[in-house]
Amino acid sequence: MLKRMKIFDLTHKLYYNMPSYPMLPQFKIDFFKIAARDKTTVSIVTSMHTHLGTHIDFPSHVIPGSKSIDDYLLQDLSGEGVVLDLSYKKEGEEITKGDLVIYEDYIEENKMLFLYTGWSQKRALTPTYLFKWPYVGADAAKFIVKKNIRILGIDGLSIGGWSGNVPAQGPISKTDSNTVHKILLNAGTLLVEEVANLDKVLNGKKVSTSFFVIAPLSLKGVEASPCRVLAIQFEDLK
């Protein structure tokens, strides 16, 4: 079975001062002990928020009193899904219902949906990566809810577009990011953001199916968690 299996790691690496959602704390990790001096090496994470890097959002992220990480089993976070190639979308452009309708036959009920925009290859501390990713608009979010997608993933920093305001950049998205999150999470569609390597799953195709495993940290009561995301494909038996 292992010989017939391809496993793609869709997880970004975590490192000191890595790109992260603007206005949230930077990730910081340092050596607490060094083997050359202390006989053992021990690293210490001094700053990490739950929406760091490749991560999953649960309903309690934006809906008070709703489901958190405790309400889901690993079985709920594993299953079949599809990756769609939306790499034609421009910087800061909204992903619309029309972008998804052309793939409608591949978007199956109660499965996962991952949107590839090419943003993972741009990962850096640049205005382009930090603010201008293609994002899911309100009409596309409602379409996804209607299709009863249980997990939606994207390679940008957020499902919604940048709607904040910092010295370097004002709002970009037509729809407030919080609104898009509420449409999806209120319907029970979990969100995986900043997914990596979706191009490897596509392998030159416009659509590709896989079995996905999403493994968040075993935290208690939180609204989100960094996670390891794997895509597994099997070669056909001959």
Say how far residue 205 (Cα) sits from the centre of its chain.
Answer: 20
Domain CATH for 13: 3.50.30.50
Q: Which domain holds residue 145?
A: 2-234
Q: How many domains does the chain have?
A: 1
Quick one: how many helices (H) and strands (E) in the chain? 6, 12
pLDDT score at 49 = 96
32: three-class secondary structure by DSSP: strand
End-to-end distance of the chain based on CA atoms, in angstroms?
A: 13
pLDDT score at 164 = 95
Provide the percentage of residues in the chain whose pLDDT is more than 70. Answer: 97
Show the tokens assigned to 12: 């970004």
Confidence label for 235 from pLDDT (cuts 50, 70 and 90): confident
Taking 70 as the threshold, does the pLDDT of residue 236 lie above it? no
The residues that bridge with 224 in the sheet, in sequence order, are 57
pLDDT tens for 108-139 read 999 999 999 999 999 999 999 999 999 999 99
pLDDT tens for 173-186 read 999 999 999 999 99
pLDDT tens for 29-81 read 999 999 999 999 999 999 999 999 999 999 999 999 999 999 999 999 999 99
pLDDT score at 238 = 39
Q: How many CA atoms lie within 13 A of 233 on its CB side?
A: 15
pLDDT score at 2 = 66
**What sign has the CA pseudo-torsion 135, 87, 145, 66?**
negative
The residues that bridge with 82 in the sheet, in sequence order, are 113, 209
- Buried b / exposed e along 198-222 (16+ C-beta atoms within 10 A): bbebbeeeeebbbbbbbebeeeeee
Task: Kindly report the pTM of this predicted structure.
Answer: 0.95
